[in-house]
Amino acid sequence: MVTHSNNTASSAPTVSVIVPCYNQGRYLADALSSVLTQTYRNWECIIVNDGSTDNTRQVALDFVSRDSRFRYLEQRNRGLAGARNRGLREMRGTRVQFLDSDDAIAPEKLQLQLEAAASVAGLCVVYCDHYYASPEDLTKAIKNPFPMPRFVLAKPLLDIAGRWETELSIPVHSFLFDARIFTDCGVCFDEGLLTHEDWDCWMQVFARPVTVIHVPATLAVYRVHAQSMCRDEHLMWKGYTAAIARQRQIWKADPEMSRLLSERMLRTDIQYGYSKNPLRNALLRLTRSARFKQHVPWPGQKLVYRMLGQR
C-alpha cells in the first residue's frame, strides 16, 4: 500500500472528491484537471490507484506534486467498489463527489451544488444534468440515449427502484452527497457485485430520509469509449440482476418494493436480452429483432411479452 500527499493544511476540506483509477491513466489527467479548475477551492481529491499497470501512478503523482489538495493512495486491485470504499474511509470532507477517472466535471459544479445544499440541515443529495462525450474530445457531445435525469415519483427510492436505466440514468459524478450518508449511516459500495454497484449504493442512499435537490445545469461529462464497462451487455446484465436480487432480499417484507423490484428484474432481462431460462432467452432474442417489431402484429407481440412476464 502506497500513500502520497503534500497536504499540510490544518483545516478540513468541505468536499472530498474520490477518483478511483484502474488502467485509465490516459484519461486521468482530464479528470484531475477538471477538479483543479473548480471555482470552489476548499476540496481534497483522493486518487485511488486500484492496482493499475499503466502510467496511472505517474499521472497522479504529477498532480500531487503540483497541488497539496491532491492525495494519492495505491492498493491491490479490488474493483471499482473497493476503490470507492477506500476513498470513503480516507475522506475528511463533509460532502462527497465521486468522479471516475475517465470522466470530468464542469468548473462551477461544486460551487453551484454546495450553494443549492446550503439551506438543508438534514441529509442532502444534489444532482445535475450531464452529457455524453466522445473519447477524444470532452467538449464534443454525442447523442444521449436517455432524457435528462429527473426524480418524479413521491419518493426518490421508488425512482431508483422502478425507473433506473429505462427512464432514469444518472452518472455517479452528477451527484454531490452529504458525507454523513456514508460515515454515519454506514452506506457503502458492495464489493461482491460485478456491475451496478452504484445502483445498489443509491438504493441504500435513498432508503434514508434524504432531501433531493436538482441543479438545472449541465455540470457532468460522461466519456464514452471502447473500454467503457457499459459496452459489455452480458456483464452488465449479470451485475444488474445480481444487484436486483440482493435488493429483493432486503425489501422482501415490503409489498410495494417487492413488486417494483420484480418488475425491474423482468425489464432488465428484456433490456439486455438475456435470461437464465433458455426459453426466456429465445423469446428475448425474438423481441430484440427488427423483424419481430415490424412483422409480428401487436396481439402476437403482446402474447410474447405476457409470456416473458411469467417468471
For residue 45, the domain's CATH number is: 3.90.550.10
- Do 116 and 238 lie in one domain? The reply is no
Q: Considering 178, 197, 230, which residue would you say is the last residue of a domain?
A: 230
Can you read off the three cell numbers belonging to residue 16? 472530498
- Do 175 and 256 lie in one domain? The reply is no
Residue 302's pLDDT is 77
Residue 9's pLDDT is 45
**How do strand 95-98 and strand 175-178 relate by DSSP bridges?**
antiparallel
**CB contact set of 130 (below 8 Å; sequence gap of 6+):** 149, 170, 171, 173, 174, 218, 219, 220, 221, 222
- Do 114 and 226 lie in one domain? The reply is yes
- Do 211 and 187 lie in one domain? The reply is yes
**CB contact set of 270 (below 8 Å; sequence gap of 6+):** 284, 287, 305, 308
| Count of the separate structural domains present in the chain | 2
For residues 220 and 148, give the distance between their C-alpha atoms in angstroms, rounded to a whole number: 12
| pLDDT one-digit tens code per residue, 184-219 | 999 999 999 999 999 999 999 999 999 999 999 999
- Do 151 and 298 lie in one domain? The reply is no
Residue 104's pLDDT is 97
Cα dist from 66 to 6, 8, 61, 70, whole Å? 9, 13, 9, 8
Residue 280's pLDDT is 67
Residue 121's pLDDT is 92
- Do 172 and 267 lie in one domain? The reply is no
Q: Considering 209, 230, 251, which residue would you say is the last residue of a domain?
A: 230
| pLDDT one-digit tens code per residue, 74-97 | 999 999 999 999 999 999 999 999
- Do 124 and 272 lie in one domain? The reply is no
Question: Quick check: 149 and 178 in contact, CB under 8 A?
Answer: no
Q: Considering 208, 230, 252, which residue would you say is the last residue of a domain?
A: 230
Residue spans of the chain under pLDDT 70? 1-10, 145-146, 226-231, 276-278, 280-281, 284-285, 308-311
Residue 311's pLDDT is 44
- Do 104 and 241 lie in one domain? The reply is no
- Do 224 and 302 lie in one domain? The reply is no
For residues 215 and 230, give the distance between their C-alpha atoms in angstroms, rounded to a whole number: 26
For residues 97 and 104, give the distance between their C-alpha atoms in angstroms, rounded to a whole number: 11
User: Domain range spanning residue 47?
Assistant: 2-230
**Cα–Cα–Cα angle for 280, 309, 299, nearest 5°?**
95
**CB contact set of 244 (below 8 Å; sequence gap of 6+):** 261, 264, 265, 268
Neighbours of 224 (CB within 10 A): 14
DSSP symbol at 105 = E
As beta bridge partners, residue 96 has: 16, 177
- Do 272 and 204 lie in one domain? The reply is no
Cα dihedral 18/22/27/33 (nearest 10): 20
- Do 6 and 119 lie in one domain? The reply is yes
| Average pLDDT score, the chain | 90
- Do 135 and 276 lie in one domain? The reply is no
